[in-house]
Structures are given as C-alpha cells and as structure tokens.
Amino acid sequence: MKKLVLICILIALLYPLKAQPIVYGSLSPSDLGLGVRIDNFSGDYGTYIAISEGHYKFAEDWYIKDHIKLSVGYVHYTKTNAFYSLGVSYHSYGEVKSPYDMPARALMPFSYEVGTGIYFDVLCVAIRIDPLKWDASLDFGIRF
C-alpha cells in the first residue's frame, strides 16, 4: 500500500492540473482494490489517469497478489451533467497461484475500459468497465 501512495503522489505532481480537476477515490470490487483517479477537463472534453492496487482471492489455494492497474483515457462531458470515458489500462500482477490453468486473457498486461458517470455541483460518481477482463471500478469524487 505504501507503493501505491507514493505512486499516487508522483502522479499528482506530474499530472498537470488544468482549470477544473476532479479527484476520485476508486474501489474495484473484483480484487478489493483501492486507488485514485484524477480528471482534468476544459469545456466538453478532458483526460483522466487512475491507479489502483488490490489482491484477488478466489479460494484458499487460488489467488493473485499485488494487482496494480494504471489507466489513462479520454472523457467527454455532455450538457446534462453526464460524461463518458474510453481508456487503456496496464495491469501488473504479483504472485499467481491457481489449481487451474488461467486463460491467457486473464493475465494480459494491456486492456481497455469504457465508462460513464454523472456529476452534481461538487460530487461525482463514475463507473469504468473492462470488458476483456470482466473488471469494474467505482469512482467517487469531488470536483474542484
């Protein structure tokens, strides 16, 4: 978890903040991952960067440790306080233990994600889904 905090601080320092950033806390239910997402937008479009870390635990002898996911993408904001996103993700895996042969796509390092969300005055809620890995991230944020 210390690595994740350091990486998040580094990303926040290197990621240029434009006029209206949104900072999210992220939850990934499939691997019980926690992370952060930062959106920057100007007008109707923007970009996002997100990082999370979690551990898959399917059974006592079936797990994937240290799953780190880094995502970057494009966000389109509509006039109705909704937004849509499309991005690419890089996955890093630690120790993998499984009594079965894992499908090749389960441990692919690259994938893509699509998402949607809504924002109110300062609160934002979003979901990002990775259709290749059947993975989702829930994002809860504050708009500055």
For residue 66, the domain's CATH number is 2.40.160
How many domains, in total, are found in the chain? 1
pLDDT along the chain (144 residues), means of 10: 60 57 92 92 86 88 89 92 94 88 84 95 94 92 88
Is 130:111 a contact under the CB 8 Å cutoff? yes
Host domain of residue 136: 2-143
Name the DSSP class of 101: P
Cβ atoms of 130 and 113 closer than 8 Å? yes
CA distance 28 to 65: 14
pLDDT in the model for residue 114: 98
